[in-house]
Structure 1
Amino acid sequence: MNFDINNIIRTNIKNLKPYSSARDEFKGEASVYLDANENAFGSPLATSYNRYPDPMAYAVKTRLSQIKGVPPKNIFLGNGSDEAIDILFRSFCNPGVDNVIIVPPTYGMYEVSANINDVELKRVNLTADYQLNLEGIAEAIDKNTKLIFICSPNNPTGNSIHREDIETLLANFNGIVVIDEAYINFSRQKSFIQELTEYANLVVLQTLSKAWGLAALRVGMAFASEEIIEVFNKVKPPYNINEASQQLALEALQNTNQVNDWIKETLKERDQLVINLKNLDFVLDIYPSDANFILVKTTAADAIYNFLVENGIIIRNRNKVELCEGCLRITIGTPQENQTLIETLKSYKG
């Protein structure tokens, strides 16, 4: 496999001269800033947000580098992982010409981004045990296939994808393999970010929205080669991570012990919830999970979902998703929330 980014990057992106702000052109501290047409008097808030943020969120990347063991130059920060997904399409896929491969059932934004960017989507369904169909993927790849998206642990099924199967793709595909690890903190599996030096065509997505509990801040991460990260930085809006999100993310990233405690508690609650759900006669199966949610096969998914909504409990109905017929996806809540769910389900009369 001879991956060369120049063979897959769009010509207009290769030739793109990115927007440059004064904050890009000037490094260091100044005493007077009269460059960016900001309000020099401050903000009508306790904290002043009148100055534009660091375009590269370097302080956050530096802290992430310490936690993840990856140099800052290999980290991109986006407005959620969704921004990183969109930039992959805009940078590497020519609209109306190129295609990408997804492996359903999987995260829905890959398809939405493909449709927004007018990029053909090829679906190669997972196997019955929710693993990659490598033969099917190999058959689907053609000269215009630029990206393959793999979610591991997978949403909505919760399982991790076999590592050796992903490595097979990385070693043999001349495009980019995107591994979405939004739920990796809950998994026993090792992250692929340690493999960045092995595979030039690897992009790993992670997020601060799940285990880190910062969903409202919208901070997603992409880890990749310096070449690929440079493309991300070229295409992104100048100030894509706002100052409040940068400050709060930096503060949160000092509290790894709290997050680790919550992960342990979540896994303990997940195990207990599985035991309690198995006692309900309308539950047919609960699939093994490496995430902070479980996929539950039931006798009447729509009716159970509607019953819970009527009782003020919101879960995700996956009944109409391919290979997830009859299934509900349930996020692991607090002990009290999980107990309320079980008590409510016990009163369901199917």
Structure 2
Amino acid sequence: MYEQRACVCDVSVVRVPLKSDFQLDMETMLKEACRPDVKIIFLCSPGNPTAVSLNIDDVISLLDSAYKGIVFLDELYIDFSGKESLARLVDKYPRLIVLQSLSKSFGLAGIRFGWSIAHEDIVFHFDKIRLPYNIGALSYSAALKALDHVDDMKTMTQQVLLERDRLADALRQIKEVKKVFPSEANFLMFQVDNALKVQEIMRQKGVYVSYKGNCLHFDDCLRISICTTKERETVLTVIRESCIEAKV
């Protein structure tokens, strides 16, 4: 999405692919991304679709490097990772911006509410360019109500983590599933033959998954959001049937 927005604004993009373990290629980052003409480096931890948290030491190495631009860290899935947010570092590193949201762990994607945590100098410039009344009253009210129930969010998040582990274990028992990737998010990536065809068959059966075979390191992979306990067996049955039907 960051690349799409950049292209809409006619801003050029420098891509630095992640390594096969979904960590930063620091040698290439320092050489290709940390240039004077690169104004912002976008990082995502845990990543989408990687579902893996970046090595904190690598992020700090970027902040400690000679690079003078902004390091923007997307932490939308942080509550599922068990990792500590790097928002605590914004005073030490004034070039760091951390993004969080109510869309994931709070389950409130519909209100489109997120926030940046940044040094006051950056916030000053944000305030100069943001639209007046950029947050609608209904979303604002819903967000405040949600933030009064952080303990409930943590309880629900723990339930998601339990279901994630159960779903991952169950997927590994399906012989047609070649690989289930580790996850620190509220979704799983799994690999099957004919993934695009499997996705379409699953859609016809009423189970929607996202095809990620066009992403680096994810050949023939599908992404599935963590479902409820009641939904799990139905989803697993649909996956089994779809994989078998895709062979025909």
Task: State the match for 2:68 in structure 1.
Answer: 174
Unaligned runs of 5+ in 2: none
Task: State the match for 2:10 in structure 1.
Answer: 118
Q: Name the aligned partner's letter for residue 230 of structure 1.
A: F
Task: Find the partner of 1:337 among 225, 231, 248.
Answer: 231
Q: Name the aligned partner's letter for residue 12 of structure 2.
A: E
- TM-score by length of structure 1 reads 0.68
2: CA distance between counterparts of 1:337 and 1:146? Answer: 45
2: CA distance between counterparts of 1:251 and 1:335? Answer: 27
- Secondary structure at the aligned position of 1:145 is classed as coil
Deviation at 1:112, TM superposition (A): 0.7
- 1:299-310 to structure 2, matched below 5 A, reads 299-310=193-204
Per-residue CA shift, 1:9-63, capped at 9, x if unaligned?
xxxxxxxxxxxxxxxxxxxxxxxxxxxxxxxxxxxxxxxxxxxxxxxxxxxxxxx
Runs of 4+ in 1 over 6 A off after TM superposition: none
1: CA distance between counterparts of 2:189 and 2:63? Answer: 28
Deviation at 1:337, TM superposition (A): 2.3
Deviation at 1:347, TM superposition (A): 2.1
Unaligned runs of 5+ in 1: 1-108
Q: Quick check: 1:159 aligned with 2:52?
A: yes
2: CA distance between counterparts of 1:292 and 1:303? Answer: 24
- TM-score by length of structure 2 reads 0.95
Task: State the match for 2:88 in structure 1.
Answer: 194
Per-residue CA shift, 1:187-215, capped at 9, x if unaligned?
12110011111111100001011111111
| Aligned residues of 1:157 and 1:294 also touching (Cα < 8 A) | no
* Larger relative contact order, structure 1 or 2 (CA cutoff 8 Å, min sep 6): 1
Q: Quick check: 1:316 aligned with 2:230?
A: no
Deviation at 1:137, TM superposition (A): 1.0
Deviation at 1:346, TM superposition (A): 2.4
| Aligned residues of 1:208 and 1:220 also touching (Cα < 8 A) | yes
Task: State the match for 1:243 in structure 2.
Answer: 137
Deviation at 1:244, TM superposition (A): 0.8
Q: Would you say how many aligned residue pairs link Structure 1 and Structure 2?
A: 242
- Secondary structure at the aligned position of 2:178 is classed as strand
- Secondary structure at the aligned position of 1:296 is classed as strand
- Secondary structure at the aligned position of 2:71 is classed as strand
Task: State the match for 1:264 in structure 2.
Answer: 158
